[in-house]
Amino acid sequence: MRLSYLKVLSILMTFIVILPTIANAKCTLSQIKSIFPTSKEVGDVIDQARYDTGPQQENDGSILYSRIWRGGPGGYRDLTIRLYTYPNSNIARLKVEKYCKALGSRRINLTYADIGCTAKRRYNFRRYYMLAEKCAVIVLWSGYPDRRLVDPQDYLLKLMAERIKKLSCLCSQEQPLKQNKKPTRTAIYRITATKIGYIKSVEEREINIDTTKRLIVWGTVYDNKGKELPSTTVTFTILGKTFTKKSDSNGYFEFDLTINPKGEKTLKFNEDFHLKKPLLHITAQVLSKTLVANGRIQTVKVRFTSDKGVVKNKRFYISTDNLPLLHNGKTVKYAKFSYDSKYITTDSNGIAVFSVKSPKLDVNLVNRSNDKDLFPIMSRYDIYSLENGEKERVGVIKLSFLSPKPHIIKVILPGGVEEQLWQSKPSRVFIKDIDSNHFKIVIRGWGRFRSKGSGTRYNTLLRQFDGKEFDFFFSPKKLGFDLNDQPQLWKDLLLTNLKILGSMFIPIAQNGKLPIKYAPSDEFKSLVDSYVIQFGTKDYINLIKQAHDNPSLTNITDGAVGGALLGDAINNLLSGKNIPFGQTMQLEALKAVYANLTTIYNAYTKYGKIARAYQDIDFLPIIVIVTDSDGHKDKYLRYISVKIWKEGE
């Protein structure tokens, strides 16, 4: 009862101090409250979770009004808006500049307000904005992750700034800045809440010790779910003195101190604490080993562990956070990858399964490059815990994406095949590709090909197939000495003697021994001799060339005999001398005997080459090209051993 009486008296004294300032401002409390957005305008929290505070006199001469919304489980997802009114617009502007600089914030340009800034992300997914309009300062922050104030020109800020401009009672009688004759003495108090099992929380505030007689600081300690925490150690330090208290059964604490007996003001501040539980670092073990950089949606399986073991049945938030792709620790610029975020939950084994879109590379770049120069590509997802009601980073997932290109890992070519014969066992191509099972294959070589199960033969084999193995047969072309080109003596002798008969026909015709109507004249004989010389010259040239290229005894003899006969024919033509018919026939008979002996000798020479021929091994190149359905390809070159016959010495 006594405590309630003191609280009522304290509030009444505060209003007595503040009412003159409000009167000077000429704005009623309802007019000030009309500046704040309604719960309907906020939109994503319930009206019953809203509560207002103020007016409250601040030590810098401003009057504070605030409106807070709480939403979500436990009521710890906060949206807070504070409105400070100052005696002068210059003071308001200076306050924003000074405070934003202290926060390490970046300044933003606002078309609807004098000045503004947004704080750096010192806490995960917490947005903080501060702006000045006329003699008022608006401070807005979001302490819960579901609300995303990603636009500096947040619609709530703009809404309030427009209402301040229209409120004529506000800042209607601005007070000029006063120059202090002597510097004001200030002090910073520090208040700390500590409890076993929770992270220590600290708050600080600066006060004017020249004008402050009495300082009252009170608050309630909550856990991360909004439940009061009793027996929490609260330490208050100011002017080198430290005071310690325990929060009561409702988590409430209060410090009532005399700061300066000569001061004339009583300052009251509410310092509530929301203690967080310490979070363990999460280690992510990626169980998916076949992630491929092909630009497709792929399933990822990850196990989460901590120092205490497997993290079971926990919900997390993961996000790429615009982290760049990496290859060997360097930023990747040759792959396309988009921002991604999602909620995931581990099962009883600590395993979470989710989908990601893999990076995408240009097909031509992949085909012309070495895999080691491009892959693996690492994508990173930050892991955020939701234990304390907001997203807090506790680890990272590292996903390694491999090459999408097929690889010909082995080509088996059973060697020792005879030239112009087919392999008795098939050749086989082995392919490794972790994201494709359908391929186009092209095989080229010095010979003919056919696929297994097909009788069609091709100089270049082109096929499409499913699977990771492909069989084919190969037949090499003729390369060496042909053993099948054996002499046929009877046929060669027949042709030789037919030529002899044709040769004997000429002297018979010259000497009129043929039963023809007209006897041969000298002109006819000369004409025949000239044709003999004409065609004999061609044969002689061929004989000489053959004897030069292959100076065997037979070829040299052929050249000598042919030259003698050709010379005799030329002599007869020039001298007009005719050899008697009998002598001519004797010469033709000798030529016939020589021609038959030459034919027999050539035949047995060829048999000798066949007899002396020996078998050797040669190697022929086989080129294999495999292409998958995305256009990625690989090439493979291998040599096959072929048996060939070579001519003996």
Q: Is the pLDDT of residue 19 over 50?
A: no
Confidence of residue 181 (pLDDT cuts 50, 70, 90): low
More confident residue, 542 or 352: 352
Q: Is the pLDDT of residue 506 over 80?
A: no
pLDDT of residue 25: 45
Give me the percent of the chain exceeding a pLDDT of 70.
63
Confidence of residue 191 (pLDDT cuts 50, 70, 90): very high
More confident residue, 397 or 338: 397
More confident residue, 409 or 568: 409
* Strand order across the beta sheet in which 233-238 lies: 201-208, 186-194, 233-238, 241-246
Q: Which of 94-108, 360-374, 419-433, 503-517 has the lowest mean pLDDT?
A: 503-517
pLDDT of residue 11: 44
Read out DSSP for 182-246?
Answer: SPPPEEEEEEEEE-TTS--EEEEEEEETTTEEEEEEEEEEE-TTS-B--S-EEEEEETTEEEEEE
Average pLDDT over residues 545-552: 62
Cβ atoms within 10 A of the Cβ of 349, count? Answer: 11
| Locus of tokens 């050249």 | 559
How far CA 101 is from CA of 85, 105, 130, 152, in Å, comes to: 20, 6, 11, 17
pLDDT of residue 625: 96
Q: Which of 30-44, 115-129, 357-371 has the lowest mean pLDDT?
A: 115-129
Q: Is the pLDDT of residue 1 over 50?
A: no
What is the rounded average pLDDT for all residues in the chain?
77
Give me the percent of the chain exceeding a pLDDT of 90.
37
Q: How far apart are the first and last CA of the chain?
A: 130
Q: Which of 209-223, 404-418, 428-442, 524-538 has the lowest mean pLDDT?
A: 524-538
pLDDT of residue 517: 45
Q: Is the pLDDT of residue 225 over 60?
A: yes
Which amino acid is residue 9, in one-letter code? L
pLDDT of residue 486: 60
> Are residues 358 and 292 in contact, defined by beta-carbon separation less than 8 angstroms?
yes
Read out DSSP for 231-275?
Answer: S-EEEEEETTEEEEEE--TTSEEEEEEE--TT--EEEEEE--EE-
Between CA 363 and CA 128 the distance in angstroms is 45
Average pLDDT over residues 483-493: 60
Confidence of residue 124 (pLDDT cuts 50, 70, 90): very low
List Cβ neighbours of 571 (8 Å cut-off, separation of 6 or more): 577
Q: Is the pLDDT of residue 91 over 70?
A: yes
**Tokens standing for residue 106:** 């970046």
pTM of the entire predicted model: 0.53
What are the DSSP E strand ranges found in 452-549? Answer: 458-466, 469-476
Least Cα distance to 83 among 69, 68, 102 occurs for 68
Average pLDDT over residues 521-529: 53
pLDDT of residue 522: 55
Q: Is the pLDDT of residue 516 over 50?
A: no
pLDDT of residue 375: 94
Q: Which of 88-97, 125-134, 548-557, 625-634 has the lowest mean pLDDT?
A: 548-557
Confidence of residue 5 (pLDDT cuts 50, 70, 90): very low
Q: Which of 99-108, 144-153, 169-178 has the lowest mean pLDDT?
A: 144-153
pLDDT of residue 152: 41
More confident residue, 384 or 7: 384
319 bridge partner residues: 341, 382
Confidence of residue 334 (pLDDT cuts 50, 70, 90): very high
Q: Is the pLDDT of residue 22 over 60?
A: no
Confidence of residue 598 (pLDDT cuts 50, 70, 90): low
> Are residues 534 and 571 in contact, defined by beta-carbon separation less than 8 angstroms?
no
Q: Is the pLDDT of residue 319 over 60?
A: yes
Between CA 229 and CA 222 the distance in angstroms is 5
Q: Is the pLDDT of residue 573 over 60?
A: no
Q: Is it true that the peptide bond before 55 is cis, omega within 30 degrees of 0?
A: yes
Average pLDDT over residues 502-512: 56
34-40, Cβ contacts within 8 angstroms, sequence gap of 24 or more: 34/163, 34/167, 35/83, 35/136, 35/160, 35/163, 35/164, 35/167, 36/65, 36/67, 36/81, 36/83, 36/160, 37/81, 37/156, 37/159, 37/160, 39/69
pLDDT single digits (tens) 446-476? 899 998 877 777 888 999 999 999 999 999 9
More confident residue, 417 or 558: 417
pLDDT of residue 150: 37
pLDDT single digits (tens) 156-177? 778 888 888 888 888 765 555 4
How far CA 342 is from CA of 176, 302, 336, in Å, comes to: 53, 14, 20
> Are residues 363 and 436 in contact, defined by beta-carbon separation less than 8 angstroms?
no
